[in-house]
Amino acid sequence: MSADTDLTKRPPLPPFNRETAIQKVRLAEDAWNSRDPEKVALAYTPDSRWRNRAEFVIGRPEIITFLRRKWAKELDYRLIKELWAFADNRIAVRFAYEWHDDSGNWFRSYGNENWEFDENGLMRVRHASINDLPIREADRKYHWPLGRRPDGHPGLSELGF
């Protein structure tokens, strides 16, 4: 099985160093910006456990259901993640994403995530704390076409978030 189709390993693998932790964060950002629940779910163990705000999600089928519901509500979703800290098989990130609801109200959602990976690089635990800030459309900072954030686009620190 090629590296592209091997679902049992998701490099980079732990233990992480600064470079591999940054790679893992960017790969997660890219996957979430795809807004493809089935693709995103493959980065997690089959029995992965999440806490997302006040919601608890267990396993890939629940992850897929959660993400479908999320992106049906959070329209034109664009996300930036940034490494905060790492050690061994754990990574902490901070993030911000912009989206609007079906009434055209814009939001910037800020948060932190704590991740724990298995030996194959699949995330087995995800804890997310998130706050939503209503913003005016004119205050948006994320204007790239839907999908992967362009390499030249500023990150969270450069944007002052």
Domains and CATH numbers, the chain: 18-143 (3.10.450.50)
Question: What are residue 128's DSSP bridge partners?
Answer: 52, 113
Is the pLDDT reported for residue 17 higher than 90? yes
Among the listed residues 45, 66, 25, the one whose alpha carbon sits nearest the alpha carbon of residue 120: 45
Band (7; pLDDT cuts 50, 70, 90): low
| CA–CA dist 84, 42 (Å, integer) | 23
33: exposed, middle or buried (C-beta count within 10 Å: 0-12, 13-18, 19+)?
Answer: buried
Is the pLDDT reported for residue 3 higher than 70? no
Per-residue pLDDT tens digits for 70-88: 999 999 999 999 999 999 9
Is the pLDDT reported for residue 94 higher than 70? yes
Mean of the pLDDT values across residues 103-121?
98
pTM: 0.94
Among the listed residues 93, 62, 64, the one whose alpha carbon sits nearest the alpha carbon of residue 80: 93
For residues 112 and 84, the answer to whether their CB atoms sit within 8 Å is yes
pLDDT at 127: 98
Question: What are residue 127's DSSP bridge partners?
Answer: 51, 114
Average pLDDT over all residues of the chain: 95
- Cα distances from 5 to residues 12, 39, 67, in angstroms, run 15, 12, 22
Mean of the pLDDT values across residues 141-153?
97
pLDDT at 5: 43
Residue 104: both structure tokens together: 């055209």
Is the pLDDT reported for residue 65 higher than 50? yes
Band (8; pLDDT cuts 50, 70, 90): confident
Percent pLDDT > 70 in the chain is 96
